[in-house]
Structure 1
Amino acid sequence: MLDVFRGLKNLIKVSHIHIDSPIFRLHYSITVMILIAFSLIVTTRQYVGNPIDCVHTKDIPEDVLNTYCWIHSTYTIKSAFKKKAGVLVPYPGVDNSKGKLDDRKCYGYYQWVCFCLFFQAILFYTPRWLWKHWEGGKIHALMMDLDIGICSEVEKKQKKKLLLDYLWENLRYHNWWCYRYYLCELLSFGNVIGQMFLMNRFFDGAFLTFGIDVVSFMESDQEERIDPMIFIFPRMTKCTFYKYGVSGEVERHDAVCILPLNVVNEKIYIFLWFWFLILGVLTLGVVLYRIVIILSPRMRVYLLRIRFRLIRRDAIDAIVRRSKMGDWFLFYMLGENIDAIIFRDVMHELAARLGHHKTDLQDA
């Protein structure tokens, strides 16, 4: 089992260079690892067992019936979920289907679960791929190993001057770079919401309220409600197989099928329901946070003061007042990666340059 997931550990390795927010990292790291792990689980027969086992007659080979029912889907009788199992029906959803074509609920999604999970993982990683491409290694290039802070004074002074010169010469030119990151965060939020609706379509409109239904069912009398996990992920279903008899007439064979894989599927999707809900709420908070930052320069000053307490308040006020939104984002990311003392010195010198430049303009 460990061999199957050993390769996934690379997905949760977060680089020591931070170019995004912790919530954004949850999308492309933890969530992608979870989805790929689930996809591997449902495709690894030795840990789950046969995906389907049907009760068969001697007239039909076991492998043929199992393969047929897996490919052509199975069904349950919706009204049978309300009947008492073991008394009126052998199992919830399993009943005489004669004359009940409109009462059938077909299940064919289980063939696509592993592919759907892998596709979801790709969608979650897409915003990260876009930002990594757009960011272009800017933060790493500007760091120049200043995150270590242990180097000769000559080297440190030279690197600080290079960083300061870049910030001075490119001040007010980082908006487009910054807004592309904000777009990626917005895409991540849209992806979570979109995937909830995607899975709702995947399960015939039963996924959006799946978690609420499960919690409500656990708190109520089981005899009065349909178990939503069994309704969406039945463990026992029916399958109809047709073949020619010895006389050349078409014979119908009804089979009862056990779906062991659904025991795993129900646990996977109840977890994903709550995980996507939490992730969506956190990402919505980040999107609202970005909107406030864009609209409020005062909030940018406050955040820099809270995060980087070594920098003088007057320096932060001068820098935010003379720069734009993109510059603020670059400063924040650099402060997250560079040694605190070195970052303080750079910001103080940048504020001093801005002050001198303003004085020169006034004198002119």
Structure 2
Amino acid sequence: MFDVFGSVKGLLKIDAVCIDNNIFRLHYKVTVVILVAFSLLVTSRQYIGDPIDCIVDEIPLNIMDTYCWIYSTFTIPNRLTGKVGHDMVQPGVVSHVDNKDDVKYHKYYQWVCFTLFFQAMLFYIPRYLWKTWEGGRIKMLVLDLNCPIVNQDCKADRKRLIVDYFSTNLHMQNFYAFRFFICEVLNFINVVGQIFFMDFFLDGEFSTYGSDVLKFTEMEPEEREDPMARVFPKVTKCIFHKYGPSGSVQKFDGLCVLPLNIVNEKIYVFLWFWFVILSILSGISLIYRFAVVFGPKLRLYLLRARSRLTPQICIEAIGRKCQIGDWFILYQLGKNIDPLIYKEVLVDIAQRLDGKTQV
């Protein structure tokens, strides 16, 4: 098991310089690791065994397994409740009449590992865009100022570079900030869109899957219909046709065991809750971002909270001169520079922007 998850642990390494925020990292770090790990897990036969095993008379088992894996299996959705061994073989596995009983075909299991990996790539796209657009700007400005112990001459030179850069590019950083905000919007669109994508992938079952599982645990045993058995059946049916000795078509009705669905049902329960939580957090993050864009007083408060050591008069002097892009650069620097050095940088910037400011 550690081999599976160990192969993706490199994605969780902490970056030396932070260029985003915690909600952003939940998308491109935590969610990507979860999806890639699940994709690897469903392809690991040493933990699950064969993905499908079918039983039928007169047909070689390996041929039946391959045939049913390729052409899908099915269950009878209106026969999910009842007594196993008396009313039915397994939930949804009963005798049926063609063209009269509803039949639900299950084909998704061929594509689970691919769709999970594809989803992981989609979650990484906003990060890739932002990293490309950002171009290492914050890293170049921070240099070694994220360390509390820095040579005085080196510190003075690097502080001066930041102050010169900031004053030279004053009011020219808005496009830089809005590109980050665009990536945050893309994160929200992506996670909501993927909920609909998985709902389509599972034939409309995913949108209510997690809530149905919760309701199932609270119902009486004789009344409840297991949503996991409906969406991810462990035993299904498969019809194999071949020509008999006289040239007539013979039909063989087989049972198929899907060990892979024991893992799939738990993967998608977890993903349902994770995607719902991530959507809510991303939505709250967007509300916060709109408030920041249209609230100068909020930006001033956040800058003050980021640098509590900086005198109030300096924060106000910076707030009078800065636009949204300038504030964003300073806020990002505050995440990466040592607090004492950050205070000195803000004081120097305030004095440069407002020569009358005295500290």
Q: Under a length normalisation based on structure 1, what TM-score does the superposition of the two structures give? A: 0.95
Q: Deviations over 1:205-228 (max 9, x none)?
A: 111011110001101113222111
Letter in 1 for 2:200: R
Q: Deviations over 1:142-201 (max 9, x none)?
A: 012111132222221111111111111111111100110111111011111000000000
Most deviating of 79-88 and 110-119? 79-88
The question of whether the paired residues in 1 share the 8 Å contact of 2:82 and 2:222 is answered with no
Match runs of 1:75-154 below 5 Å: 75-100=74-99, 102-154=101-153
The question of whether the paired residues in 1 share the 8 Å contact of 2:144 and 2:150 is answered with no
- 3-state SS, counterpart of residue 205 of structure 2: coil
Partner of 2:47: 47
Q: Give the CA deviation at 1:336.
A: 0.7
Q: Give the CA deviation at 1:317.
A: 1.5
Q: Give the CA deviation at 1:7.
A: 2.3
Answer 1 or 2: which has greater helix percent: 1
Gaps of 5+ in 1: 359-364
Gaps of 5+ in 2: none
The whole-number CA distance in structure 2 between the counterparts of 1:161 and 1:295 is 31
Partner of 2:176: 177
Q: Give the CA deviation at 1:2.
A: 2.4
Partner of 1:206: 205
Letter in 2 for 1:54: C
- 3-state SS, counterpart of residue 355 of structure 2: helix
Q: Deviations over 1:104-144 (max 9, x none)?
A: 01100000000000000000000000000000000000012
Q: Give the CA deviation at 1:346.
A: 1.2
Partner of 1:284: 283
Partner of 1:237: 236
The whole-number CA distance in structure 2 between the counterparts of 1:181 and 1:124 is 15
Q: Percent identity of the aligned residues?
A: 50
Partner of 1:298: 297
The whole-number CA distance in structure 2 between the counterparts of 1:7 and 1:260 is 24
1:101–1:264 CA distance, 2 compared to 1 (3 A): farther
- 3-state SS, counterpart of residue 354 of structure 2: helix
Match runs of 1:1-364 below 5 Å: 1-57=1-57, 59-100=58-99, 102-356=101-355
The whole-number CA distance in structure 1 between the counterparts of 2:107 and 2:205 is 14
The question of whether the paired residues in 1 share the 8 Å contact of 2:76 and 2:101 is answered with no
- 3-state SS, counterpart of residue 285 of structure 1: helix
The whole-number CA distance in structure 2 between the counterparts of 1:143 and 1:95 is 67
- 3-state SS, counterpart of residue 251 of structure 1: strand
- 3-state SS, counterpart of residue 240 of structure 2: strand
Q: Under a length normalisation based on structure 2, what TM-score does the superposition of the two structures give? A: 0.97
The whole-number CA distance in structure 1 between the counterparts of 2:101 and 2:314 is 73
The whole-number CA distance in structure 2 between the counterparts of 1:261 and 1:347 is 57
- 3-state SS, counterpart of residue 75 of structure 1: strand
